[in-house]
Amino acid sequence: MAAGGRIVLAGTQSGVGKTTISLGIMGALKKRGLSIKPFKVGPDYIDPQFHSFITGVPSRNLDSYLLAERVLQGLFQKNTDDGDIAVIEGVMGLYDGYGTKGDTGSTAHVAKLVKAPVILIINGGGISTSAAAIALGYKLFDPDVNICGVIINQLSGEKHYQLLKGPIEERTGLKCLGYLKKNNDIRLESRHLGLVPTQEVYALREKLEAAIAMVEETIDLEGLINIAYGAEALPPIALTVPPLKQEIRLAYAYDKAFNFYYQDNLDLLRAAGATLIPFSPLADKELPSDIHGIYIGGGFPEVFGEELQDNKALREALLRLAIGGIPIFAECGGYMYLTKGIKDLQGRLYEMVGVFEGIAAMTARLQRFGYNQASIIENSTYVKDIGEIRGHEFHRSIVVPQGVKPLYAIKKQRDGEVIDAWYCGQARYNVLGGFPHFHFYSNLKLPEAFLKACAEYKRKIEL
């Protein structure tokens, strides 16, 4: 990062208001004319959508489980070279990560990798001097984490803030950088997989403007800026992308039903020579013309089952192309869409594309949640033995096709031990689908195989 600064906004735990405060700070700094580069620690897709909405630039994930340390550092540098301040929203509590015996996947780990000062967010409701004990514990737990300040959320007002500010600064040496008052009007709606995506939030602009106004009123923005610009310089790291000898046109599903994509995945595909063309399985009656591959990410197809079913023309077009051999890569919601149907929580069955056997049935409880490692066990026409791919699953749906060999062998580890193993996904025609979300930089052989298959399909149809 040549001339900019960076800060991490970390919570003591989930639910302390990290996203609301992060959005308010991003918006307030942008109003001051600063170029903000937003990031999210961890695999979450929805928080980055809010970052992008308020900053006007893509937000990217920094995940030290999915990515090797040097890759994470390189991606961070590549995406911050032309910005003033990188604002990194943490995940869960500061030290919560993958397992309990290390810090991989945690906000603390990422903060150390990118040498970013940390601002600790505390819920001040129902406590006074105890807030100082909380802050001191977080400061002392890992001296290599550079905690530089504290923001307190859920306060009644200035008097309440002063009651906590004095003990925190006296007992910890950390500077308090302000607070936010309780305000349910700026609370963002949730769904069974977290926040509701930006496309579905009513009066989102008004809610975010209210959050920005609160931040401007009671948070020390100058103090934050000074801390951000005091970050240590980073040594330069260069990254490579899979080579592609022939340019291709790649369609990807993007609308209210499908919008879960890692921005770095899309960037990598473009850098490798692909022209990305969005299409809507909800609204478009035909696919983009002259395409050589299709990418269908995750989302909430179960919420829009009737609309997806009603768009029969697009479903039939997708099936024709699949049978004709076009390479398709589908993850989670995209996999569900390519089955014969989706059954919602009320038992209603909606017809889907029908590339894969079985139906995707929603269940009352979470089926899979967390990081995993996947290996290809069913050699498809374009992905064979590429080794392990790191991924993440978070879904309440199941697909149980009968008599079909699964695509992925998956294992879940904790503190170095395998705690669960299962099979998932299907391969048919030139189509791969399964529940894991993969970060392409976790194994470049996966996007390289997909892109090569798209180029080969282009050569065949042009003969």
Give the mean model confidence (pLDDT) for residues 432-450.
96
In a domain, 240, yes or no: no
Name the domain count of the chain: 2
Give the CATH number for residue 394. Answer: 3.40.50.880
Residue 301 sits in the same domain as residue 173: no
The pLDDT tens digits of the residues spanning 41-66 come to: 999 999 999 999 999 999 999 999 99
Residue 154 sits in the same domain as residue 13: yes
Residue 162 sits in the same domain as residue 293: no
In a domain, 88, yes or no: yes
Residue 269 sits in the same domain as residue 219: no
pLDDT number for residue 161: 96
Contact of 302 with 336, CB cutoff 8 Å: yes
Alpha-carbon gap, residue 164 to 60, rounded angstroms: 34
Give the mean model confidence (pLDDT) for residues 425-435.
95
Q: Looking at 148, 176, 332, 424, which residue is catalytic? A: 332
Residue 145 sits in the same domain as residue 10: yes
pLDDT number for residue 191: 47
Q: Is the pLDDT of residue 195 over 70?
A: no
Cβ neighbours for 434, distance < 8 A, ≥ 6 positions apart: 330, 331, 332, 335, 374, 407, 408, 424, 425, 426
Q: Which domain holds residue 390?
A: 248-462
Residue 269 sits in the same domain as residue 193: no
Q: Is the pLDDT of residue 189 over 70?
A: no
The percent of residues above 70 in pLDDT, for the chain, comes to 94
In a domain, 234, yes or no: no
Alpha-carbon gap, residue 270 to 262, rounded angstroms: 13
Residue 224 sits in the same domain as residue 258: no
Tell me the β-bridge partners of 314.
none
Tell me the β-bridge partners of 152.
122, 179
Residue 41 sits in the same domain as residue 169: yes
Is residue 332 annotated as a catalytic residue, yes or no? yes
Distance of CA 28 to the CA centre of its chain: 23
pLDDT number for residue 2: 42
In a domain, 339, yes or no: yes
In a domain, 60, yes or no: yes
| HSE-up of residue 159 (Cα within 13 Å, Cβ side) | 1
In a domain, 237, yes or no: no
Residue 298 sits in the same domain as residue 429: yes
Q: Is the pLDDT of residue 1 over 50?
A: no
The last residue of one of the domains, among 172, 195, 229, is 229
Q: Is the pLDDT of residue 22 over 70?
A: yes
pLDDT number for residue 183: 73
Strand 341-343 and strand 359-362: the pairing is parallel
pLDDT number for residue 186: 57
Give the CATH number for residue 55. Answer: 3.40.50.300
Cβ neighbours for 320, distance < 8 A, ≥ 6 positions apart: none
Residue 204 sits in the same domain as residue 262: no
pLDDT number for residue 209: 92
Alpha-carbon gap, residue 106 to 115, rounded angstroms: 14
In a domain, 155, yes or no: yes
Residue 275 sits in the same domain as residue 376: yes
In a domain, 238, yes or no: no
Give the mean model confidence (pLDDT) for residues 152-156.
94
Residue 209 sits in the same domain as residue 263: no
Alpha-carbon gap, residue 52 to 58, rounded angstroms: 5
Average pLDDT over all residues of the chain: 92
